Chains A and B, each alone.
Chain A
Amino acid sequence: NAGVTQTPKFQVLKTGQSMTLQCAQDMNHEYMSWYRQDPGMGLRLIHYSVGAGITDQGEVPNGYNVSRSTTEDFPLRLLSAAPSQTSVYFCASSTTSRRDSPLHFGNGTRLTVT
């Protein structure tokens, strides 16, 4: 019963490098999302998806791309890393896109951009 799995757990990038943060869920959840968590800022929504082939922007989408080719996977791509993207990234999923569906979170990827 894995739930939401995120890889890697830690990553260090140099400014300008690109990378993909992986997220997979085995609960057949329709809704998936990416948040970043910064001290004093709380969790902020980057992108979300209400089903395979459908994605939309959240509160802070700039510098990030997503795709949802399968129900299980929702990777987050950093196109050209910047120090401002140093953060902890969480992937979350829920049964449906209904507003009252609880979110199931992964344990995060801690990213440092130097």
Chain B
Amino acid sequence: SQKIEQNSEALNIQEGKTATLTCNYTNYSPAYLQWYRQDPGRGPVFLLLIRENEKEKRKERLKVTFDTTLKQSLFHITASQPADSATYLCALGGFQKLVFGTGTRLLVSP
């Protein structure tokens, strides 16, 4: 069955460092992958989309990579700030549907 894995343990880093979050998937061949941010008590907010023919996508301090051979996406936040603390969800694209991972909580300490 299709499976999306994100690290369930929180990632703790210091302000100014680069945070790297991982999204692995099996039994799936998505045409694209999306990343969302979710704050407590709020709905997810779209951040970035990367297609299967793109190796890397950037937006300000965010960078996403997509390796269809390894079946993995990496999400990087450079020069992290306490305001980046949130849960980050990856989602894989299927026909008219997105399949979400469980998310990884990021904690950036000053």
Contacts and interface: CB of A to CB of B under 8 A. Distances in A.
Contact of B100 (A43, A48, A56): A43
A102 B8 CA distance: 24
Give the bracket for the number of chain A residues in contact with chain B.
20 to 34
B22 interface: no
Interface residues of B, number: 27
B43 interface: yes
Nearest to A106: B43
22 contacts: A31-B96, A35-B100, A40-B8, A42-B89, A43-B44, A43-B89, A43-B91, A48-B96, A48-B97, A56-B96, A58-B97, A92-B43, A97-B96, A99-B94, A99-B95, A100-B51, A100-B93, A102-B49, A103-B44, A103-B98, A107-B41, A107-B42
Given A42-B89, A103-B36, A106-B43, 4 more contacts: A43-B89, A92-B43, A102-B34, A103-B44
